[in-house]
A and B are shown apart, each in its own frame.
Chain A
Amino acid sequence: MVRDVFTIVMVAAGAFFFLAGTVGLLRFPDTLTRLHALTKADNLGLGLVVLGLLLRVQGPLGALKLVAVWLLVQLAGATVSQLIAGAARRGEPSA
């Protein structure tokens, strides 16, 4: 019961950050602020979803895989945001 409530609260909070990130992506005025909104969805949103699902997996190996997914997404997200922000600052075309 407690585990169910924990999962529901965490995944719902994660979904909220994804929603907020998407709204930010659509409404913010320029590339840098839009990137800022997106990284919140990646880091916090996915992090909370993973946290909520951690108690659902069977065994520590499954939990490790979930955490690895989160870390890999963080790594890829951070790198790509840096590259896009760099390109935006140099004034390269960004569609």
Chain B
Amino acid sequence: MTMAMALDSGLAVVVLAVAGWTIAARGTFAAVVGFVSYGLLLTLVWVRLEAVDVALTEAAIGSGLTGALLIGAAARLRAGEASPVEGPGVVLRLEIAVLSATVAVALAIAVLLLPDPAPTLAPAAAENATATGLGNPVTNVLIAFRAMDTLLEKVVLALALVGVWSLAPDRVWGGYPGPRHRSDPHGVLAFFARLLPPLGIVVGIYILWAGADHPGGAFQGGTILAAMWLLVMMAGLTDAPPVSRRWLRLVLIVGPVVFLVVGLGGLWLGDAFLAYPAAHAKPLILTIEFAMTLTIAATLGLLLAGPPERKLS
């Protein structure tokens, strides 16, 4: 057994163990911690599979952002946990277990029945890599070959935010999202929130820019920018903007709108909807990615900030 083989099998065992522990954990908070560790381990798995783009996304979204959302949910649930709450009964638990196991087994069978070698479009994507002027095949697929999927994904993000905002009671509608965070202005959190964002913003923009030719892109870069914004908000250095602000609404839709406009432009300048005229493919794609990054950063930040809770004064 080679060294790499030992590392990979060890990693697989640990991933499975953490997954099992997360399901078995009794406390909500413990389960969330398990989930975050599971996501970070999965990131390592993607790196071992040489899918660095997926690894970056898993670390940023799957583990980081989802983890933060779940920690918030766990904190809200904690009040209810102290009192004996009605958990699901034995029958319901059994049904859930059977359903989950069935899905897992069906997935496993599907994977095992895949023809060898598995059908793949990777050679086709690699052959046409020069069509867009970008060097990263993953970005090519996301923004050119399967642009429709990416466009719809961004629209889903906007819908998710609408879902969060719709939890706001009528009297605070249009107000500030979440509680006003306060911390000691000379404390360690405020210091951290002043020190890190300049670095984080540079890294976020770099990852967006590098996404053209290397692993990275709008989603990973946007998530880092959102994290910096959240850090500053949570340290109490700034407040979240009221959800009724016109500029905020514009930022939230600029990504999909630019994408749509360029896509519609493809109808008469290019060959089809979302087809880029070959001569201008790269600048058009970069424009879309920049607009997307803004929208993603704002949407993710506001998703975590929560529904409006305070009135517009």
Binding site for B on A (CB under 8 A): 72, 75, 78-79, 82-83, 86, 93, 95
**Residues of chain B lying within 8 A (CB to CB) of residue A82:** 188
Name B195's contact: one of A75, A86, A95 (CB within 8 Å): A75
Query: Does any Cβ of A come within 8 Å of B101's Cβ?
Result: no
For the complex, would chain B's binding face be called helix, strand, loop or mixed by DSSP majority?
helix
Contact of A95 among B33, B189, B192 (CB under 8 A): B33
Across the two chains, which residue of chain B brings its CB closest to A94? Answer: B29
| Proximity bits, B36-75, A CB within 8 Å = 1, else 0 | 0000000000000000000000000000000000000000
Please name the residue on chain A nearest to B33 by beta carbon: A95
B30 at interface (Cβ–Cβ under 8 A)? yes
- Distance (whole angstroms) from the CB of A88 to the closest CB of chain B: 14
Known contacts A93-B78, A95-B27: does B192 contact A75 (CB below 8 Å)?
A: yes
B196 near A95 with CB under 8 A, answer no
Contacting pair A83 B195 (CB below 8 A): no
**Which 8 A-B residue pairs are closest in the complex by CB-CB distance?**
A95-B29, A82-B188, A79-B192, A79-B188, A95-B30, A83-B189, A95-B27, A83-B188
Residues of A contacting B199 in the complex (Cβ-Cβ under 8 angstroms): 72
**Contact status A75-B196, CB under 8 Å:** yes
Chain A binding surface, main DSSP class: helix
Chain B residues whose CB sits within 8 angstroms of the CB of A93 once the complex forms:
78
Listed by A's residue number, 6 A-B pairs whose Cβ atoms lie within 8 Å are A75-B192, A75-B195, A75-B196, A78-B188, A79-B188, A79-B191
Beta-carbon contacts under 8 Å, B167-225 to A: 188-189, 191-192, 195-196, 199
Query: In this complex, what residue of A is CB-closest to B29?
Result: A95
Q: Which residues of the partner chain B approach A75 to less than 8 Å between Cβ atoms? A: 192, 195-196
Is B29's CB under 8 angstroms from A79's CB? no
A78 CA / B189 CA spacing, docked (Å): 11
B residues 137-194 near A (Cβ < 8 Å) are 188-189, 191-192
Interface centre among B29, B192, B195, B196 (most CB of A within 10 A): B192
Given A72-B199, A83-B188, 16 new contacts (CB under 8 A): A75-B192, A75-B195, A75-B196, A78-B188, A79-B188, A79-B189, A79-B191, A79-B192, A82-B188, A83-B189, A86-B188, A93-B78, A95-B27, A95-B29, A95-B30, A95-B33
Set of chain A residues within 8 Å of B191, measured between Cβ atoms: 79
CA distance A79 to B188 in the complex (A): 6
Q: Tell me which residues across on chain B come within 8 A of A95, comparing CB atoms.
A: 27, 29-30, 33
Instruction: Provide the bound-state CA to CA distance between A79 and B30, in Å.
Output: 22
In the assembled complex, the Cα of A78 lies from the Cα of B191 at a distance in Å of: 12
Residues of chain B within 8 A of A83, CB atoms compared: 188-189
A44 to chain B, nearest CB (A): 21
Cα-based distance from A82 to B33 in the complex (angstroms):
19
Residues of A within 8 A of B30 (CB): 95
Please give the distance in Å from B43's CB to the nearest CB on chain A: 15
**Distance in Å: Cβ of B169 to nearest Cβ of chain A:** 28
Q: How far is the CA of A95 from the CA of B189 in the complex (A)?
A: 21
CB distance from B29 to the nearest CB of A (A): 4
What residue in chain A is nearest B195 (Cβ atoms)?
A: A75
